[in-house]
Amino acid sequence: EDQVTQSPEALRLQEGESSSLNCSYTVSGLRGLFWYRQDPGKGPEFLFTLYSAGEEKEKERLKATLTKKESFLHITAPKPEDSATYLCAVNQAGTALIFGKGTTLSVSS
Amino acid sequence: DVKVTQSSRYLVKRTGEKVFLECVQDMDHENMFWYRQDPGLGLRLIYFSYDVKMKEKGDIPEGYSVSREKKERFSLILESASTNQTSMYLCASSPGLAGARDEQFFGPGTRLTVL
């Protein structure tokens, strides 16, 4: 049973077309939720950590939010350079990170 | 900035060879991790270490071993490489103690091909 599910698997946007990526989780005792960006052929790059429901973090055109069951990564007015795979991971008490399979975002000009 | 480096970006080995993948971090982090990443399967944890000379199995340890003789260095060893170990291997480190709420920082990855 998947503990971290990301949707959609792939998302195509036009430049400037805002949207959201979803990460839902079923783990108990959440100790943190993490968002990463991964470019093809490279290692994941850390973006945000969220610890409690209601928390929000922002970085440039990205804003991450957290509820008790899911997190959203909102992308406002995306640019082609935002094209990447976005990974979500959760830290359950006493274990290493559990990763979702990612959402591949393509932004065309 | 945290820097995690991996010894090779690309590696080609033959079936049955012993393969060493090296990872070094420069931020005095306690925790280090080895993952493999395959299309459709995402990131899967192979082994991790919370301290020097200490190791814990992850989700897919079969066919792999690890070594952590120094705090900054974590090695992944394929005792006898097989074609199903062709993959992208990613090393990561995080600062805190076991179970801590720490983000992990990743290296650039090693693309290993076993022929």
pLDDT tens digits for range A38-63:
999 999 999 999 988 999 999 999 99
Q: Are A44 and B90 in contact (CB under 8 A)?
A: yes
Compare CB distances from B42 to A43, A96, A99 and report the shortest one's residue. Answer: A99
CA-CA distance, B23 to B46, in Å (whole number)?
14
CA-CA distance, A20 to A71, in Å (whole number)?
10
pLDDT of residue A91: 83
| B45 part of contact set with chain A, CB < 8 Å | yes
Which residues of chain B neighbour A89 with C-beta distances below 8 Å?
Answer: 43, 104
pLDDT of residue B102: 79
List, for residues B65-112, the tens digit of each pLDDT value: 999 999 999 999 999 999 999 999 999 998 876 555 578 999 999 999
Percentage above 70 pLDDT, chain A: 94
A74: part of which helix (H) or strand (E)? strand A70-75
Which residues of chain B neighbour A34 with C-beta distances below 8 Å?
Answer: 103-104
Q: Please state whether beta strands B56-57 and B42-49 pair in parallel, antiparallel, or not at all (unpaired).
A: antiparallel
Q: A77 to chain B nearest CA, in Å?
A: 27
Helices (H) and strands (E) in chain B, counts: 0, 11
Q: What does pLDDT average to over chain A?
A: 93
- Look at B1-5, B8-12, B14-18 and tell me which has the smallest mean pLDDT: B1-5
Give the Cα-Cα-Cα angle B4, B5, B9 (nearest 5 degrees): 135
pLDDT of residue A94: 59
- Spatial CA neighbour of A19 closest among A82, A68, A67, A93: A82
Q: Which of A1, A46, A59, A98 to mutate to test the interface with B (most CBs of B within 10 A)?
A: A46
Res. A7: pLDDT tops 70: yes
**Which phi and psi angles does B85 have, rounded to 5°?**
-100, 5
CB contact under 8 A, A43 and B41: no
CA-CA distance, A35 to B76, in Å (whole number)?
25
Res. B19: pLDDT tops 70: yes
pLDDT of residue A35: 97
